[in-house]
């Protein structure tokens, strides 16, 4: 058995995290995170913003699968001013890693125990309904602390938030609680990636209307925000005081019509190693269910990555991977830990060689958008789908 790359490191790693990039040679499969691309994307997005507009980096769901702690450090270094996550657990992970930037929680928090946890870890919750105000106020009074909170209005997404036309009543309730301090008021678009801006503009109008009503009562919100990646790229007048950008920081576009707004580079690549190469005879079935039957003698390679790593089984027999800068077809059902590819066109490939599933390989470039299109889903879901079994390895081209 020959490996295309000589193993340089002989000492076994002491624990699961004790890996360096040079030890990529050990992995059967991994995710590569390009730190320079990530930081470049932050700078490009920031360049679209007015100097006073703040960039809040959305790093929920383990930074869309990229690894939350490392992404947080990289985006803050590159100029993001605050972070958004979905759950208290995600926030604690960042605080435990020593991150001190403001962190907003996008999800709802409804119990006194959770409020105490927020206060302890200095995480800033989103208030979405009046019922929360009583609980939050009581806990914070007992703790004798003041908690910054973000008010969410529902302007048409019909997800979290108080209906925009009840916004004033809601805000007045929060203002009556001395232990709560309104840090911002925000809403979220449902269709910002649609080339037709009609619904987005309606939501913006509703937001404006709610804010105008507050101002007419003498309350001036300290910070307003509305834009996700799509709205940030499509219309500067939607930026307000802060933009909440997720997808674009990871180098993907929320919609095809927004690709000319700013140059972005994908941050994540998925790679795996060939575990075995062999020739199977014409008529042989490949993988569970024999969904693929070799029409001729076929050189196949077994690759050490499968659906338990986040390669969707629904891509079986449709996936293309890149090997030595050439696209080759995946054949047969994708299994939990392995998949097979047809390497008849490159019969000399060897055990240990690296296959690119997502990313650049010579002239080939396979993106999460390609998979999303084939699966009838969106790139957000593809990025979040890579499992923790794949180590995240940071590379930097700087």
Ligand X SMILES: *Cc1c(COP(=O)(O)O)cnc(C)c1O
d(CA 202, CA 189): 10
* 244 assigned binding-site residue: no
Only one of the segments 5-13, 201-209, 228-236, 387-395 lies at the binding site for ligand X (rule: CB under 6 A); that segment is 228-236
Residue whose C-alpha is closest to residue 244's, from 372, 104, 77, 382:
104
- Tell me the closest approach of the beta carbon of residue 263 to ligand X, in angstroms: 17
- Nearer residue to ligand X within complex by CB, 58 or 334: 58
The rounded radius of gyration (Å) of the Cα atoms in the chain is 24
* 336 assigned binding-site residue: yes
Quick one: which of 156, 167, 254, 385 contacts ligand X (CB under 6 A)? 254
Only one of the segments 44-52, 172-180, 239-247, 309-317 lies at the binding site for ligand X (rule: CB under 6 A); that segment is 239-247
Pairing of strands 292-293, 285-286: antiparallel
Active site residue 60: yes
Q: Does 179 bind ligand X (CB under 6 A)?
A: no
- Nearer residue to ligand X within complex by CB, 229 or 316: 229
- Tell me the closest approach of the beta carbon of residue 189 to ligand X, in angstroms: 8
Only one of the segments 12-20, 241-249, 277-285, 290-298 lies at the binding site for ligand X (rule: CB under 6 A); that segment is 241-249
Supply 158's token pair: 């019909």
Q: Does 244 bind ligand X (CB under 6 A)?
A: yes
Q: Does 229 bind ligand X (CB under 6 A)?
A: yes
- Nearer residue to ligand X within complex by CB, 170 or 253: 253
Contact 188/177 with Cβ under 8 angstroms? Answer: no
Active site residue 271: no
Supply 38's token pair: 């990530």
Coil, helix or strand at residue 58: strand
- Nearer residue to ligand X within complex by CB, 140 or 252: 252
CB environment 213-249: b (16+ within 10 A), e (fewer): bbeeeeeebeebbbbbbbbbbbbeebbbbbbbbbbbb
The residues, ordered by sequence, that sit 6+ positions from 131 with a Cβ below 8 Å of its Cβ are 110
Kindly report the three-state secondary structure assignment for every residue of 354-382.
EEEEEEEECCEEECHHHHHHHHCCCHHHH
CA 300 to chain centre: 33
- Nearer residue to ligand X within complex by CB, 84 or 140: 84
Quick one: which of 247, 301, 341, 382 contacts ligand X (CB under 6 A)? 247
Contact 102/127 with Cβ under 8 angstroms? Answer: no
Only one of the segments 71-79, 223-231, 312-320, 382-390 lies at the binding site for ligand X (rule: CB under 6 A); that segment is 223-231
d(CA 167, CA 164): 5
The single residue of 46, 60, 70, 271 carrying the catalytic annotation is 60
- Nearer residue to ligand X within complex by CB, 124 or 229: 229
CA 361 to chain centre: 23
- Tell me the closest approach of the beta carbon of residue 108 to ligand X, in angstroms: 11
Q: Of 42-81, which residues contact ligand X (CB under 6 A)?
A: 58, 60
Quick one: which of 228, 234, 298, 316 contacts ligand X (CB under 6 A)? 228
d(CA 212, CA 151): 15
The single residue of 169, 215, 278, 288 carrying the catalytic annotation is 288
- Tell me the closest approach of the beta carbon of residue 242 to ligand X, in angstroms: 11
The DSSP output letter for 16 is T
Q: Which residue has the CB atom at the shortest distance from ligand X?
A: 246
- Nearer residue to ligand X within complex by CB, 60 or 66: 60
- Tell me the closest approach of the beta carbon of residue 139 to ligand X, in angstroms: 24
Interhelix angle 112-121/88-96, nearest 10 degrees? 20
Contact 258/27 with Cβ under 8 angstroms? Answer: no
Q: Does 106 bind ligand X (CB under 6 A)?
A: yes
List the beta bridge partners of residue 300. 278, 342
Supply 107's token pair: 């999800």
Extract the annotated binding site for substrate: 159, 336
Task: Indicate which residues carry an active-site annotation.
Answer: 60, 288
Query: Given the rule CB under 6 A, which residues bind ligand X?
Result: 58, 60, 106, 188, 228-230, 244-247, 254
């Amino acid at each position: 058995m020959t490996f295309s790359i000589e193993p340089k490191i002989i000492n076994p790693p002491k624990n699961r995290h004790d890996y360096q990039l040079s030890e990529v040679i050990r992995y059967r499969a991994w995710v590569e995170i390009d730190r320079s691309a990530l930081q470049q994307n932050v700078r490009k997005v920031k360049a679209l913003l007015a100097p006073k507009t703040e960039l809040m980096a959305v790093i929920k769901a383990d930074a869309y699968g990229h690894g939350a702690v490392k992404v947080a450090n990289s985006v803050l270094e590159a100029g993001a001013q605050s972070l958004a996550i979905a759950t208290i657990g995600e926030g604690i992970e960042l605080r435990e890693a020593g991150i001190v930037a403001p962190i907003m929680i996008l999800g709802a928090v409804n119990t006194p125990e959770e409020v105490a946890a927020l206060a302890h870890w200095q995480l800033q919750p989103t208030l979405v309904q009046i019922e929360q105000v009583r609980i939050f106020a009581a806990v914070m009074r007992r703790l004798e602390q003041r908690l910054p909170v973000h008010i969410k209005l529902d302007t048409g997404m019909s997800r979290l938030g108080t209906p925009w036309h009840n916004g004033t009543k809601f805000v007045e309730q929060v203002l009556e609680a001395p232990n709560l301090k309104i840090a911002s008021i925000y809403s979220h678009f449902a269709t910002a990636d649609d080339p037709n801006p009609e619904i987005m503009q309606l939501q913006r109008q509703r937001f404006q209307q709610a804010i105008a009503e507050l101002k007419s009562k003498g309350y001036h919100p300290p910070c307003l925000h509305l834009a996700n990646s799509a709205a940030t790229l499509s219309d500067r007048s939607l930026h307000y005081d802060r933009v909440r950008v997720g997808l674009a920081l990871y180098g993907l576009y929320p919609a095809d019509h927004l690709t000319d707004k700013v140059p972005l580079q994908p941050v994540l690549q998925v790679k795996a190693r060939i575990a075995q190469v062999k020739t199977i005879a014409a008529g042989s079935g490949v993988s569970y269910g024999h969904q693929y039957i070799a029409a001729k003698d076929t050189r196949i390679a077994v690759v050490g990555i499968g659906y338990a790593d986040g390669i969707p089984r629904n891509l079986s027999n449709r996936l293309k991977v890149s090997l030595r800068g050439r696209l080759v077809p995946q054949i047969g059902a994708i299994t939990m830990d392995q998949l097979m590819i047809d390497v008849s066109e490159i019969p000399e490939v060897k055990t240990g060689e690296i296959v690119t599933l997502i990313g650049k390989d010579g002239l080939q470039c396979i993106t999460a958008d390609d998979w999303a299109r084939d699966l009838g889903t969106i790139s957000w879901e593809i990025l979040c789908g890579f499992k923790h079994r794949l180590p995240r390895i940071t590379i930097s081209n700087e």
